[in-house]
Amino acid sequence: MRRLAAGLTCVVLAQPAAAQAPVPAPHDSDPATPTTSSIQSSLGALGDPGGVRAALAVKGVTYSFSYIGEVFDNLRGGIERGAVYEGRFDLHFDVDLEKLAGLTGLAFHAQLLQIHGRGPSRRKVGNLMTVSNIEALPSIRLDELWLEQTLLDGKLSVRVGQLSADMEFLSSQTASVFINGTFGWPDITNENLPAGGDAYPWATPGVRVKVLPAPGVTLLGAVFNGDPSGGGAGEPLRHNQHGTQFPLHNAPFFIGEAAYAYNQEDGATGLPGTIKLGGWYHAGRFNDQRYDSNGVSLGDPASTGIARRVRGNYGFYTMAEQMLWLRPGTSDQGLAAFARVSTAPGDRNPAVFYADGGITFKGVLSHRPDDIAGIAFGYAKASNRLRAQQRDARAFGANTPIISSETVIELTYLAQLVPGWTLQPDFQYIRRPSGGIANPADPGGRRIKNAALVGLRTTIQY
């Protein structure tokens, strides 16, 4: 809870499609674009004017666009009531260099983001588990930019370039339908790592290795530049604002994950699921949550106000996804669940425990097989060390709230209008925004009240 420590911190006609190019899906597990279909199939001859897309695909060159637009209205609580609009335009560009240039197993990927509008968490709620997974300061940003070499018949791949850890690590396919950002990159990593860690809207220089040693087993390991902003005082997103600085001077961030996916093969008698175990280590220095460099509580007026620095930081996590019921005669319709738990040491981190989970139902209505309904919760607990520092401050007469935890509950329904175009009403209830800090808009210093928001998102993927 990094901000806690600081105090707050169209009509489309469905026509028979002509021969078309393969449509690239959203890369890896981008939580903001769970759909893998494209509106191209609904546009007929307009889906690929002049056959350019198909001609490029034959040569190994593919591209895709997506647009996400949404409005959220804070009905009660938070910093203030009211509605905000925000959106994001994405461009993905991929090259199969084996097809294009005969370089066996080599691929190139680039992604560009254009972010606009006002985010509900920053403007209306003041919470930590970001209401929307596209919320960020408005900007045009270079996101991922990498080369990947695949070896040993696909059993080994090495990716090098500007990478985002949340595209592959800590990701849940089941959770990707939810809009709150914590169901992508969990709040505990967002709050404990510099600039929120290597996750949206950040990408930073790194190397990722993937190994597939046995059927169903995946081993992932990576090292990244440890501060995607490059460092500096003030709002991190105002540093490296366009993602083109490629910082390499910060202490490294390591992350590793092992996954086992079972009952995935054709003809499996059991329901499919996945179990993941992972951990991370950051080699930088972090602030002690209670004491200054002289061992005096930061809540004591006699303190220097400069926190004692602690070398290194780490965390562990486990997660599971499980199909609970599969509708007979289908491959993916039915009930699915996910759950994640993560921990980190409390002496150097504002957040020490995180848990989330949820259930989704794909094909709630049999005549709408691609719609998904879901309910999920997220919970983040503040460090006892940070709470002790706040108690110290109160003992010396400061009017400082003692924070505790933040909880979010989200209900959502993703409706496919046509392949590649979805509409998603959403409801979120946030209990104890930012753990119960004082409302910066309240002259009396009262805590931010629990917030309730309704939203509507539309996503078009081409």
**pLDDT at residue 61 above 80?**
yes
What residues contact residue 253 under an 8 Å CB cut-off, 6+ apart? 165, 193, 197, 198, 223, 224, 225, 226, 280, 281, 282, 283
Q: Which domain holds residue 86?
A: 2-461
Q: How far apart are CA 188 and CA 383, in angstroms?
A: 11
Question: 184 and 197 in contact (C-beta within 8 Å)?
Answer: no
pLDDT at 41: 86
Task: Tokens 């461009």: give the residue.
Answer: 91
pLDDT at site 22:
37
Going by pLDDT thresholds of 50, 70 and 90, the confidence category of residue 13 is: very low
269-314 tens-digit pLDDT: 899 999 999 999 999 999 999 999 999 999 999 999 999 999 999 9
pLDDT of residue 8: 33
Please state the separation of Cα 75 from the chain's center in Å.
25
pTM passes above 0.95: no
The radius of gyration of the chain from alpha carbons, rounded to an integer in Å, stands at 23
Q: Which residue has the higher pLDDT, 442 or 388?
A: 388
Nearest alpha carbon to residue 21 among 54, 49, 50: 54
Query: Of 64-68, 74-78, 327-331, where does mean pLDDT reach its minimum?
Result: 327-331
CA distance 458 to 389: 44
Percent residues over pLDDT 90 in the chain: 82
List the one residue out of 262, 155, 159 whose CA is nearest residue 211: 155
**Burial of residue 48 (number of CB atoms within 10 Å: 0-12, 13-18, 19+):** buried
CA distance 244 to 239: 10
Instruction: Note whether 89 and 69 are within 8 A (CB).
Output: no
**For residue 331, what is the domain's CATH number?**
2.40.160.180
Residue 353 has pLDDT above 80, yes or no: yes
Q: For 262-268, which contacts have Cβ atoms below 8 Å and span 24 or more sequence positions?
A: 262/216, 264/216, 265/215
What per-residue confidence (pLDDT) applies to 11? 27
pLDDT of residue 31: 63
Per-residue pLDDT at 34:
65
* Tokens matching residue 261: 């996916």
Buried b (16+ CB within 10 A) or exposed e, 327-353: eeeeeebbbbbbbbbbbbbbbbbbbbb
Structural domains of the chain, count: 1
User: What's the CA angle centered on 363, arms 361 and 368, to 5 degrees?
Assistant: 145
User: Mean pLDDT in the chain?
Assistant: 91
How far CA 167 is from CA of 68, 109, 268, in Å, comes to 18, 13, 28
What residues are paired with 211 via a beta bridge?
A: 156, 219
For 234-269, the pLDDT digits (tens) are 888 889 999 999 999 999 999 999 999 999 988 888
